Amino acid sequence: RRGPSFEASHELATGPVTSPPRTVDGFVREFLDQLNFGQGVKLSQSTINDQYLALARTVRSYLMASWLETGHRRRKNPTRIVGYLSAEYLLGRQLGNNLLASDLQGIAEQAMEQCGIDMAALRGQEVEPGLGNGGLGRLAACFVDSLATMDQPCIGYGIRYEYGIFRQTFVEGRQVEEPDSWLRLGSPWEFPHPERAVQVGFGGHTETSVDEDGTEHTRWVPAWQVRGVPYHYMVPGFRNGVVNTLRLWSAEANQAFDLQTFNAGDYAQASRAEIFAENISKVLYPDDSTPQGKELRLQQQYFFVACSLRDFIENTLPRDVDLRELPQRIIFQLNDTHPVIAVPELMRILVDEKGFDWDEAWDITQQCFAYTCHTLLPEALEVWPVDLLGRLLPRHLEIIYRINEEFLLEVRDAFPGDEGRVRRMSIIAEQPQRAVRMAYLATVAGAKVNGVAELHSQLLRDDVLPDFHAMWPEKFTNVTNGITPRRFLYLANRRLSDLINETIGTGWVTDLEQLRQLEPYADDADFRQRFRDVKHANKERLSKLLRVRDGIELSQDHLLDVMVKRLHEYKRQTLKLLHVVSVYEGVLSGRTPIDQVTPRTVLFGAKAAPGYHMAKEIIFLINSVAETVNTDPVMDGRLQVLFPANYNVTLAEKVIPAADLSEQISLAGKEASGTGNMKFALNGALTIGTLDGANVEILDLVGEDNFFLFGMTEPEVEELRQRGYVPSSFYEADPVLKATIDLIGSGHFTGGDRGAVSAVLDNLLNHDPFMALAGFGSYLEAQDRVERAYADPEAWSRSTILNVARCGFFSSDRSMRDYLDRIWLPGDA
Ligand code: 73E
């Protein structure tokens, strides 16, 4: 460390950092410096990867002054900052985003041209950091983008997985996973800070002692320790000179070798501890919505929150701040239950390490956390068996027990004599094994609990946490999810952005409600034509990409019908597939004349959790249907099914702007919010959807005439379940459904092999937990409405424009405003 005397006597050490000149020449000079002195190559000898790395580092150096300045400003001005705790950040590519934020796109393009470099090739060189599974991780990335754009202090805390979400390939129609080695060619966007490493303990035991005045003190003696090394990422606001920080933790061994063993000559054995430690941040768990309850997963969770709390308290919070003021300095937002072990960790720090008495520590802790729940599926609510938790974190388990004891006293106080309620509300479940219910712990500890869409928050109050709602109604609130307009409109859909900019100016980029000004243009024939031209050009762009990326041909003049999201039964990819097969079967059987089939391309994108057998069978079925339908001359090219492998943020940015129809067809009450639904609507696709998650709010805003609604409501679903749902009765009663299922069952799509699809069909006919068969009739009817509407291009365009104009609400800037007003800084508003 530099001493203060050095700093004080050297202007150079303390003065502002200057950026390279914002000119094409300045950019070229910085780029060549990065290439020569950073990569150690001359331009003439450089590879595309050298050039990409140098370009990234060039953009970085333009953002650096703002980053340092933002940090300086934040340190001078003590306010409550947001510590977003998330096990996932699905960032997507950084280059385009950071060029956009720093307003360097034009300069960079020209500079690369001057150097004779194809900028598009450099963009294509970036491997996206896929440090998340789906919506939950992408939401975290949108939120930190919005907070930077709003100049709100935030540190995003998470895990720097060495391997992100697996790369999906198909082998004979079946999903095969490959490791995502995203760091292999270098990662120019991260800044390792080994000097800021912190220690994290695991295992061991606790010791209790009594001091002179008879007070008990407990101390945790961990059995082993790992080092958490932070890697910092820039989170630039949109052209506002703000750069916040994302701090991702990587696990390292304290010592590469066990020295005794090393000296004894057993070199392989001597590196065991290193392998053990580094395993912790090795790979992202690829389960979306259904956590597996594996020990390594709990290690990951504790690892990153322990690092984050330690880092904040010891390295970010100024030394002179009294910890009683912690709630004035930080609010930790718990992104689902994954980081909830932070609650007993903060209690442990305050009580065991800092000497607070229990009640005071609990009072502080309760003000420092808020909890967001992202699901309703009971199997998705995390529980940790007490034996596992006690083995890994013995002190934390003791603390959880004490929190529970005191909480249950409160319950007995509020509801005397109601022991059933006490059992129901206990943080410790007794059946099927003793386990800690993390959602309950989060609800008890959190100052606020929120769901992610209106319907979801209501179901949370009514069905998931009703007893807690009865006890603390004011704790519960809603914040509907949002998406960042920078990445998902400006960057992804440059053509539409240009049209919007020309029409209403650029204010929408940071104030998305301004899109309302587009409403009158829905009635302007010239504008509608230009809107269609944009869509057409986006389809062409996608078509080119898919040709190169996947070797598939997208028919240009088809209705592009898109269902992209994780593969999960509740999302009902099978319902979409039944629709596809019914169209095909109609033609095959002669029920539908071929010239009455609306030319349509159905595009799927979906990864299945590697251990989710049914989901993988559904992928195989989709690929089987695609192969048959695409090559059967009977369809005359009018129906095409595409399933490009490895759907990710990068592909989403090309697919969404090209889509005509957005499939949001989960069974009502199952999709907490959805965020893809918002991205499509904002890019001028119309939604066919159920009354689920944020679809409800989209429908409300765009109006029934501009949305294809179908299916049961959540109460209707419940009622049908109560009455006793018999899927086969729908099969028997609907001849089209019967013919559709029979065609699949005949082996038509699997080369005559009936067994190959029987798992999916048996499940549909005999269980159908998400009522795809019950939804089939109304879904087909809604698809008829889609086709009639699509046949009138002017009316269709009008609707799509109104969708864009009316979806400004779904900006993640608005979500962040709501979090600030309702959760983070209530009373400041
Ligand atoms: O409805 C989505 C929601 O839009 C929900 O399924 C998803 O979160 C999105 C953002 O709020 C979600 N992911 C998970 N739970 N809910 C999850 C659970 C365990 C592991 C990974 C992800």
Domain positions in the chain are: 20-77+97-127, 78-93+128-480+818-824, 499-804
Mutate to test the pocket of ligand 1, among 89, 90, 131, 136 (most ligand atoms within 8 A of CB): 136
CA of 289 to the centre of ligand 1 (A): 6
Whether the pLDDT of residue 371 is over 80: the answer is yes
For 379-398, write each residue's pLDDT tens digit. Answer: 889 999 999 999 999 999 99
Strands annotated E in 730-797: none
Q: Would you identify the CATH topology of the domain 78-93+128-480+818-824?
A: Rossmann fold (3.40.50)
CA distance 676 to 786: 19
Mutate to test the pocket of ligand 1, among 375, 381, 612 (most ligand atoms within 8 A of CB): 375
Whether the pLDDT of residue 10 is over 80: the answer is no
Burial code (b: 16+ CB inside 10 Å, e: under 16) for 572-602 equals bbbbbbbbbbbbbbbbbeeeeeeeebbbbbb
Whether the pLDDT of residue 404 is over 70: the answer is yes
Give the relative orientation of helices 105-114 and 48-76 as an angle to the nearest 10 degrees: 150
Residues pairing with 230 in the sheet? 249
Cβ atoms of residues 47 and 184 within 8 Å: no
Q: Which helix (H) or strand (E) holds 249?
A: strand 243-252
Whether the pLDDT of residue 292 is over 90: the answer is no
Question: Could you tell me the CA-to-CA distances from 61 to 17, 18, 151, 278, 524 in Å, in that order?
Answer: 10, 9, 20, 31, 45
CA distance 189 to 126: 11
Q: Which range, of 255-264, 444-453, 571-580, averages the lowest pLDDT?
A: 255-264
Question: Could you tell me the CA-to-CA distances from 484 to 147, 351, 825 in Å, in that order?
Answer: 10, 40, 22
pLDDT value of residue 650: 98
CA of 565 to the centre of ligand 1 (A): 11
> Distance from CA of residue 792 to its chain's centroid?
36
CA distance 601 to 554: 8
Closest approach atom of ligand 1 to CA 382: 19
Burial code (b: 16+ CB inside 10 Å, e: under 16) for 127-160 equals bbbbbbbbbbbbbbbbbbbbbbbbebbbbbbbbb
**Higher model confidence: residue 534 or residue 264?**
534
Specify the CATH class of 499-804 in words.
alpha beta
CA of 439 to the centre of ligand 1 (A): 14
For 459-478, write each residue's pLDDT tens digit. Answer: 999 999 999 999 999 999 99
Mean pLDDT to the nearest integer, 818-826: 97
CA of 186 to the centre of ligand 1 (A): 30
CA of 807 to the centre of ligand 1 (A): 21
Mean pLDDT rounded to a whole number for the chain: 96
Q: Given pLDDT bands bounded at 50, 70 and 90, which one contains residue 3?
A: very low
Whether the pLDDT of residue 524 is over 60: the answer is yes
β-strand 130-131 against 89-90: which pairing, if any?
A: antiparallel
CA distance 607 to 423: 39
Predicted complex: ipTM over 0.90: yes
- Ligand 1 neighbour 286 (Cβ under 6 A): no
Burial class (CB in 10 A: 0-12, 13-18, 19+), 267: exposed
Q: Whose CA is nearest to atom 4 of ligand 1?
A: 674
CA distance 815 to 74: 22
- Ligand 1 neighbour 339 (Cβ under 6 A): no
Closest approach atom of ligand 1 to CA 372: 11
- Ligand 1 neighbour 678 (Cβ under 6 A): no
Cβ atoms of residues 564 and 604 within 8 Å: yes
Query: CB under 8 Å to 552, separation ≥6 — which residues?
Result: 546, 642, 644
- Ligand 1 neighbour 564 (Cβ under 6 A): no
For 661-679, write each residue's pLDDT tens digit. Answer: 999 999 999 999 999 999 9
Q: Whose CA is nearest to atom 21 of ligand 1?
A: 288
CA of 290 to the centre of ligand 1 (A): 9
Rounded percentage of the chain residues whose pLDDT exceeds 90: 93
pLDDT value of residue 8: 52
Q: Whose CA is nearest to atom 15 of ligand 1?
A: 289
Whether the pLDDT of residue 648 is over 50: the answer is yes
Report residue 468 as tokens. Answer: 């807690």
Q: Tell which residue, 602, 603, 606, has the closest CA to residue 647.
A: 606
Report residue 311 as tokens. Answer: 């880092």
Strands annotated E in 164-242: 167-171, 174-178, 190-192, 198-202, 205-210, 216-221, 224-236
Q: Given pLDDT bands bounded at 50, 70 and 90, which one contains residue 264?
A: confident
Question: Could you tell me the CA-to-CA distances from 607 to 334, 479, 646 in Å, in that order?
Answer: 25, 27, 7
Q: Given pLDDT bands bounded at 50, 70 and 90, which one contains residue 230?
A: very high
Three-state DSSP state, 714: helix
Closest approach atom of ligand 1 to CA 694: 4
Query: CB under 8 Å to 200, separation ≥6 — which residues?
Result: 225, 226, 227, 228, 251, 302, 303, 306, 307, 310
Mean pLDDT to the nearest integer, 80-97: 98
How many C-beta atoms surround the C-beta of residue 544 within 10 A?
A: 12
Q: Tell which residue, 767, 783, 758, has the closest CA to residue 730.
A: 767
Mutate to test the pocket of ligand 1, among 89, 288, 377, 818 (most ligand atoms within 8 A of CB): 288
- Ligand 1 neighbour 132 (Cβ under 6 A): no
Q: Given pLDDT bands bounded at 50, 70 and 90, which one contains residue 129?
A: very high
Q: Do domains 78-93+128-480+818-824 and 499-804 have the same CATH topology?
A: yes
The residues annotated with a catalytic role in the active site are 374, 565-566, 571, 675, 679
- Ligand 1 neighbour 287 (Cβ under 6 A): yes
Q: Given pLDDT bands bounded at 50, 70 and 90, which one contains residue 814?
A: very high
Whether the pLDDT of residue 2 is over 50: the answer is no
CA of 673 to the centre of ligand 1 (A): 8
Q: Tell which residue, 377, 379, 360, has the closest CA to residue 368.
A: 360
CA of 515 to the centre of ligand 1 (A): 28
DSSP assignment string, 35-53: IIIII---GGG--HHHHHH
Whether the pLDDT of residue 7 is over 80: the answer is no
- Ligand 1 neighbour 482 (Cβ under 6 A): no
Whether the pLDDT of residue 18 is over 70: the answer is yes
pLDDT value of residue 14: 78
Report residue 205 as tokens. Answer: 């035991």
Q: Tell which residue, 470, 484, 468, 450, has the closest CA to residue 672.
A: 450
CA distance 37 to 57: 11
DSSP assignment string, 177-194: EE---TTTT--TTEEE-G
Whether the pLDDT of residue 329 is over 80: the answer is yes
- Ligand 1 neighbour 289 (Cβ under 6 A): yes
For 169-180, write each residue's pLDDT tens digit. Answer: 999 999 999 999
β-strand 81-85 against 154-159: which pairing, if any?
A: parallel
**Higher model confidence: residue 207 or residue 376?**
207
Sequence length of the chain is 829
